[in-house]
Structure 1
Amino acid sequence: MDRLQQLTSELLAKKEAARLGGGNEKIAAQHSRGLLTARERIEKLADRGTFLELGMLNTSDVIGTEHKSYGDGLLAGVGKVNGRPAVIQAGDKTVFAGTEGNVHIRKSKSIHEFAVKNGLPLFSLHEGGGLRMPDGMGSDGISDKLFPREMLTLHRQVPTMTAILGDSFGGPTWAAVSSDFVTQLQGTCMAIAGPRMLELANGQKLTPEELGGVDVHHRFTGQIDEDGASEGECIEQIKSFYTYMPQNAEERPLMRATNDDPYRLVDEVLAILPQQNNRVYDMKKIIASLVDDGVTFEFQRKFGKGLITTFAHMNGHVVGIVANQPSHFAGAPGPHECQKATEFICLCDSYHIPLIFLHDTPGFRISSEAEKAKMPTKIMVWNQALALSTVPKISVIIRKSIGAAYGNMCGPGMGGDLVVAWPTAEINFTGPEVGVNVVFGRELARSENPSEERKKLLELWSFDSSPYKAAAKHLIDDVIQPNETRKFLCQSLEYLLTSKREKSERLLATWPTGI
């Protein structure tokens, strides 16, 4: 065997060993937990035969661990996802439990820089235990392993998508909460540190799911956008989200071919909207009737359920829809809904996605709990994001739009390009019942016949809440037939997405994620 053949054989042997990461026993242990390896996850994400691995021969720089630390707990490279180039990284649980050592951190930094430099979206398939000990111990160990600057200053230059596919602490969690879209495998935990560390630190005993399971994030934090029952489902979710995103911030999202007539009438909406104005209904049904082929991709589906934020297409254009959901809290936004709206507006504005607002809200949910959750601040933060957004914005008042919530849903004077109403719209500072109670509450309490007195006061308090007074004074742009709503929206986008407006000024691109 000549020297070149010998060197080639040595290389092939090293790469074959590298494909096993921490070795067959660790791979078997991963499979015994019902989980895929990092390499298997990448195979599910990337189009077949397209993945080009970078740093395959990396190992830990701790002497004596080379043979069992290929990749140093992180696989990375470039490939195609849905036919489009992307950067991909995956935590490798078979190597030191996916913890982050010196080489791991160096590789992660390099792959982030590669993504931004080349305008490629970044996919992260994460599972891991955070900073490795003893690598991070001591003043010299921790000083070069703090929060990576490339993550802190990404500024939505490229779309970032993360799937949490196993218990994740430290670095994987930081990556997830800094991403544009996050999904988490059911039964896993995403937190700052694991239950064992928590117990040692303060004696608190929690299961992984109690600490950072999907229900915790859907009910309280909003730090994940979706969850899946299997790894395959989670990976399909980040692939689906990607279809609504541009390649990078310099481009618009791709158009989607459709045979759905942009001017078709949507007569079905008249059957969806109840005859009585105090009856609930599912706003998702109205949205499905309006968008191309009835297809949507909901963002934060299980968080802040009084507000719907969803992606869809209108005449082939990607749009973001913000809609009140009357079937939850009567469509009244609370603190979680405010947070959700702000994040969605920032996301859409950063990636040149026009916004459509569909109103049906009796106003904000006010309570002691809401005040403790900084409700006034959250309302105004939502308004600030709305004011700074420069994508085209279209607002349709379907039924109720009451009080300050009328403004947050992009009512008149809030930066919307077009504000229209259905003839069913009710627009007011507050509902007449509430107004009467506030103004005449004491008189009613002293009245001998409060029911009759209330009835008389309501007749006197019957301010015209219909949209026609606002339309007459050109405070809104028009009152439209409900069945022409799809036509109106598609036609409006034709005229708004001019060469001057088709790209946002991206004033919200530097807005912190998770606000």
Structure 2
Amino acid sequence: MDTLKQLTNDLQAKKEAALLGGGPEKIAAQHNRGLLTARERINKLTDEGTFMELGMLNTSDVKGAEHKSYGDGLITGVGKINGRPAIIQAGDKTVFAGTEGNVHIRKSKSIHEFAVKNGLPIFSLHEGGGLRMPDGMGSDGISDKLFPREMLTLHRQVPTMTAILGDSFGGPTWAAVSSDFVTQLQGTCMAIAGPRMLELANGQKLTPEELGGVDTHHKFTGQIDEDGSTEDECIEQLKNYFSYMPQHAGERPKMRQTNDDPYRLVEEVFTILPQQNNRVYDMKKIIEVLVDDGVTFEYQRKFGKGLITTFAHLNGHCVGIVANQPNQYAGAPGPQECQKATEFICLCDSYHIPLIFLHDTPGFRISSEAEKAKMPTKIMVWNQALALATVPKISIVIRKSIGAAYGNMCGPGMGGDLVVAWPTAEINFTGPEVGVNVVFGRELSRAENPKEERQKLLELWSFDSSPYKAAAKHLIDDVIHPSETRKFLCQSLDYLLTSKREKSERLLSAWPTGI
């Protein structure tokens, strides 16, 4: 009995030591930086008392480092988040600065395999310095550590969500850009390597925020989807996003309870949409009156602002909405908007979330800068994503839908299950103003009364652009009353969300997580 008690006491002592990670001084240093420890972050994410840690007694396999490396820089386990089971991993900055050693990497691989096998979502709370030296040195060191295979083969089998909560390089960055949703704490850096390595490599001197701060990612890369001013805010964003996701790719997201009448008329749209078709407005306001209880969760809200991508619910069903934003670049998509649309379509298709498209665009933005950013390629990749998406797709032309952008917003021929328009819609190869200028410019310059002739031509071309011509030839399915848009969408989903569609092959699940 005494032997058993001694063994039990030894176990308790080891676990108490393990809870301190790199030790009290390292924990104090983390707090002095204004940051939480890995376990404190996990406690904020998970429901109280539900986290079951796996690998607590792991240590570095470097001789002599055992007692100062519990967890080997990574805390992993299973817990519940708003009542739903999930895998959680968190980089432990108190152990070798959260760098990745042999045990750390083996542990990460194991927890990923556990998640996929059991259909459990993965949450990553990351901060760390990349591959540990000297563990990764030499041909034998780097051979099996560079890019963890689980990140390359996960293929959206389970939802993956990452919060970058401290400076992150190497592995934490690979995990983030391979995730479905990423939020980053303001004031932190996410990059391949840190500023010091950058300066040594090529002499560039940048601050961490200039290199990989939230503004850099929102303005240029699109590698994060949201940011927060506090760790609490970032963790709450993970939870909010998760509420729109299924447990795994083999099921649809759960229905959300609502008392919002699915057949409710949305008369408010008449006060939002301007009378003049050249006036801007906020498409988000139209979305809010259409969806259940006016609640949305916008995806990449600070990147590619000419296009809105947002999650919402209609009659309890989770939907993904792709909408032009007229108050940004007149709703004309550029390279960033194309990238954003493609990533969102892939995401929704992978998790059985139907897509709704709301058009109001004068066409694509054209410029030298757009061409340098491979605009034609980005347009076609967006088209390819649409063609391969197997989830239900419903398309509504609110106002303008001009040129090739009509197709990219899931116009006819792009796989839309239903394509309808408001009576305010204008569908054409180009807008009447531009078309008249290009085709009749010389004739108008010689006309006796060019202003009057121009007005006649504009009226003719405007009539040709009306939705009724397309509806008469069954090129669109209907012209609907704007106030009945919510009713139309809710009814359509009832008929489209069939068991057969749910079992459709997810062709976009293996597409890259960054386009």
Using the size of structure 1 for normalisation, the TM-score is 0.98
2:269 is aligned with 1:269? yes
Aligned position for 1:213:
213
**What's the secondary structure of 1:3's corresponding residue?**
helix
Q: Secondary structure at the match of 2:156?
A: coil
Secondary structure of the residue aligned to 2:502 is: coil
SS in 1 for 2:494: helix
Distance 2:85 2:199 in 1: 43
Give per-residue Cα distances to partners, 1:248-303, cap 9 Å, x unaligned: 01111011011100001111111110000011110001000000000000000100
Cα separation, 1, equivalents of 2:70 and 2:328: 50
CA distances 1:66-117 after superposition (whole Å, capped 9, x unpaired): 1111100000000111101100000000000000001100101111111011
Q: Is the 8 A contact 1:309 1:344 kept in 2?
A: yes
1:89 aligns with 2:111: no
Secondary structure at the aligned position of 1:87 is classed as strand
CA shift digits 1:347-368 (9 cap, x unpaired): 0000000001101101101111
Matched with 1:23 is 23
CA distance in 1, matches of 2:366, 2:357: 22
Q: Which residue of 2 aligns with 1:358?
A: 358
Structure 2 counterparts to residues 106-255 of structure 1, below 5 A: 106-255=106-255
Cα distance between partner residues in 2 of 1:411 and 1:80: 41
CA distance in structure 1 between the aligned counterparts of 2:477 and 2:55, rounded to whole angstroms = 57
Residue number in structure 2 paired with 1:371: 371
For 1:48, the equivalent position in structure 2 comes to: 48
Q: Could you say what secondary structure the match of 1:182 adopts?
A: strand
1:392-471 to structure 2, matched below 5 A, reads: 392-441=392-441, 454-455=454-455, 457-458=457-458, 461-471=461-471
| CA offsets 1:27-66 (integer angstroms, 9 cap, x no match) | 0000001000000000001111000000000111111111
Cα offset, 1:464, TM superposition: 1.6
Q: Distance in 2 between matches of 1:505 and 1:373?
A: 32
1:39 matches 2:63: no
How far residue 150 of structure 1 moved from its aligned partner, in angstroms, is 1.2
SS at 2:298 equivalent: strand
Work out the CA distance in 1 between the residues paired with 2:151 and 2:514.
Answer: 14
Amino acid at match of 2:104: H
Local SS of the residue matching 2:390: coil
CA distance in 1, matches of 2:16, 2:100: 23
Q: Give the whole-Å Cα distance in 2 for the aligned partners of 1:390 and 1:459.
A: 40
| Counterparts of 2:104 and 2:413, CA distance in 1 | 50
Preserved CA contact (<8 Å) 1:341 1:382: yes
Distance 1:180 1:153 in 2: 14
Q: Which residue does the alignment assign to 1:259?
A: 259
How far apart are the structure 2 equivalents of 1:138 and 1:461?
A: 69
- 3-state SS of 2:507 partner: coil
- Written as runs of structure 1 = structure 2, the 5 A alignment for 1:278-293 is 278-293=278-293
> Shift in Å at residue 307 of structure 1?
0.4
Q: Answer yes or no: is the 8 Å Cα contact 1:351–1:504 preserved in 2.
A: no
Percent identity, aligned pairs only, is 89
Deviations 1:120-162 (A, max 9, x none): 0000000000001111111111112121111101010000000
Change (3 A) 1:172 1:317: same
Shift of 1:483: 0.5
- Deviation of 1:462 after TM superposition, in Å, equals 4.6
Using the size of structure 2 for normalisation, the TM-score is 0.98
In structure 2, distance between residues paired with 1:36 and 1:446:
74
Deviation string 1:172-210 (CA, Å, 9 cap, x unpaired) is: 000000000000000000000000000011000000000
1:505 Cα shift? 1.9
Counterpart code for 1:48 = E
Name the SS of the counterpart of 2:263 in structure 1: coil
> Partner amino acid for 1:111?
I
Q: CA deviation at 1:3?
A: 0.4
> Does the aligned pair in 2 maintain the 1:324–1:360 contact within 8 Å?
yes
8 Å contact kept, 2:251–2:502:
no
8 Å CA contact 1:252, 1:503 repeated in 2:
no
Number of residues paired by the alignment?
Answer: 515
Distance of 1:296 and 1:432 partners within structure 2: 35
2:420·2:478 contact (CA, 8 Å) conserved in 1?
yes
Tell which deviates more after alignment, 462-471 or 313-322: 462-471
1:177–1:513: 8 Å Cα contact kept in structure 2? yes
Q: Once the 2 structures are TM-superposed, how far is the Cα of residue 438 of structure 1 from its aligned partner?
A: 2.4
Gaps of 5+ in 1: none
Q: Structure 1 residues 37 and 140 mapped into 2: Cα distance closer, same or farther (>3 Å)?
A: same
Q: 1:416 is matched by which residue type in structure 2?
A: G
* Residue deviations 1:376-405 (CA, integer Å, cap 9, x gap): 000000000000001011111110011100
Contact 1:322-1:341 at 8 Å conserved across structures: yes
- In structure 1, what residue type is equivalent to 2:395? S
Any unmatched runs of 5+ in structure 2?
none
| CA deviation map 1:230-259 (0-9, x unaligned) | 001000101111111110011110110111
Q: Quote the RMSD (CA, aligned, Å).
A: 1.5
> Measured at CA, do residues 26 and 442 of structure 1 come closer, stay the same or move farther in structure 2, by a change above 3 Å?
farther
Indicate the SS of the match to 2:236.
helix
Query: In the aligned structure 2, how far is the partner of 1:175 from the partner of 1:60?
Result: 21
> Would you say the 8 A contact 2:23–2:94 is kept in 1?
yes
